Amino acid sequence: MGEVGEEALLAAFTPLLPIGGHALVGNGDDCAVLAASDGRYCVSTDLLVEGHHFDRAWSTPEQVGARAAAQNLADVAAMGAVPTAVVVGLVLPPSTTVGWVRGLARGLGQACQACGAGVVGGDLSAGEQLVVSVTVHGDLQGRAPLLRDGARPGDLLVHAGDLGRSAAGLALLRAGISGPEQLGPQASPPVREAVAWALAGFRSPAPPLSLGPALARAGAHALMDVSDSLLRDAGRLARASGVRLDLDDPCGQGSWLAGCRRRLEVLVPLLQAPGPGALTAEVARTAAAWVLTGGEDHGLLAAVPAGSQEALPAGVRVLGRVLEHVPGTPSVTVGGEPWQGAVGWDHFEA
């Protein structure tokens, strides 16, 4: 970067970015111009800071770009809207290579193109730390925005997307496992597949973007993105709506964790070695903690009317109930009991 300059860098990566169908004017002028068919726009911004949100030793530039897109596009889907365009600000140390920036643009552009959103502008700056800032715009298509304050007692609590996948991937990376090839010949195919699945979920989350508008069309009362953890974000929804949420026990037989339990639980022995008598319980507790307190899967949490279970879009599962709030009780319980321990990610907690 210190050798090529800004103009050459822009020429190197802007051809990799889609314009999208909502841009009347794209890159190259002082502003992009977007068509707002609904007359309203959803707008949100997220930052990714190197060393805080991503590590170049763990992720390719394409994966960092895909992650930057995913966490912003999911915010639009969480309003029941369709992503239309993003603008991107980059702070780049002068030692950053042009190839790395092109990879970032490629990953971000591919993720946006997959849902029809354009990358229509942004800004560049030199700095000491690599920062990716993305602002996303979304179209409500004539529907009312789905907010966090609409959950009602008697509703079903439902979720779409992954739970615990990114947290498991992060745990593997922290343990020095960056790919299934490191496991050795004794690792079984299910373990290798689970490692690859978890690492991909951390490096390049895949939020179920189409299910945000689908849940809106299905009559959801409230909707939000799960970015910091299921427990922490469920608490935000509960407090905004003035209700209590009770999650089914994820360790229970036939629970909503069953779909991903096998993949999560086969990973636990790679990270710890509990005594034989405690193995089953320890595995279940660790997998449950990933699901309940792990973040960055960017799934969607919604409250939907009771009796609507049969009409839910494919990929949406029931994981609890919305109850009347009782003063002095937790806003979220698990199997009727308070959760003991940390509840998820906070940017400013140690």
Residue 345 assigned as binding residue:
yes
The token duo for 183 is: 């496991």
CATH of residue 203 = 3.90.650.10
Domain count, the chain: 2
Residue 229 assigned as binding residue:
no
Mean pLDDT score, 241-254: 82
Residues 34, 122 share a domain:
yes
Residues 111, 184 share a domain:
no
Residue 296 assigned as binding residue:
yes
Residues 187, 108 share a domain:
no
Residue 44 assigned as binding residue:
yes
Q: What are the CB-based long-range contacts (under 8 Å, 24+) for 255-263?
A: 256/159, 256/317, 256/318, 256/319, 257/163, 257/164, 257/287, 257/288, 257/291, 259/317, 260/162, 260/163, 260/164, 260/165, 260/291, 261/287, 262/190, 262/194, 263/165, 263/190, 263/193, 263/194, 263/197, 263/198
Residues 177, 108 share a domain:
no
Residues 105, 19 share a domain:
yes
Residue 325 assigned as binding residue:
no
225-239, 255-269, 295-309: range with lowest mean pLDDT: 255-269
Residues 186, 263 share a domain:
yes
Residue 350 lies in a domain: no
Residue 286 assigned as binding residue:
no
Residues 307, 188 share a domain:
yes
**Residues ≥6 apart with Cβ < 8 Å to 218:** 304, 308, 311, 312, 313
Is residue 260 within 8 A of residue 165, CB to CB? The reply is: yes
Residue 344 lies in a domain: no
Residues 121, 81 share a domain:
yes
Mean pLDDT score, 94-116: 96
Residue 30 assigned as binding residue:
yes
Residue 233 assigned as binding residue:
no
Confidence class for position 273, pLDDT limits 50, 70, 90 = low
- Considering 79, 110, 139, which residue would you say is the last residue of a domain? 139
Residues 282, 247 share a domain:
yes
Residue 133 assigned as binding residue:
no
Residue 255 assigned as binding residue:
no
Residues 308, 228 share a domain:
yes
Residue 305 lies in a domain: yes
Residue 168 lies in a domain: yes
Answer with the residue of higher pLDDT: 97 or 34: 97
Q: Residue 206: give the domain boundaries.
A: 155-338
For residue 140, pLDDT over 60 is answered with yes
Mean pLDDT score, 202-230: 96
Is residue 308 within 8 A of residue 219, CB to CB? The reply is: yes
The neighbour count for residue 153, using CB atoms within 10 Å, is: 15
According to the model, what pLDDT value does residue 308 have? 85
Mean pLDDT score, 299-326: 93
Residue 122 assigned as binding residue:
yes
CATH of residue 74 = 3.30.1330.10
Whether the predicted model's global pTM rises above the 0.85 cut: yes
- Considering 79, 106, 139, which residue would you say is the last residue of a domain? 139
Residues 211, 271 share a domain:
yes
Residues 113, 162 share a domain:
no
According to the model, what pLDDT value does residue 350 have? 43
Confidence class for position 1, pLDDT limits 50, 70, 90 = low
User: What is the tally of helices (H) and strands (E) in the chain?
Assistant: 10, 12
Residue 228 assigned as binding residue:
yes
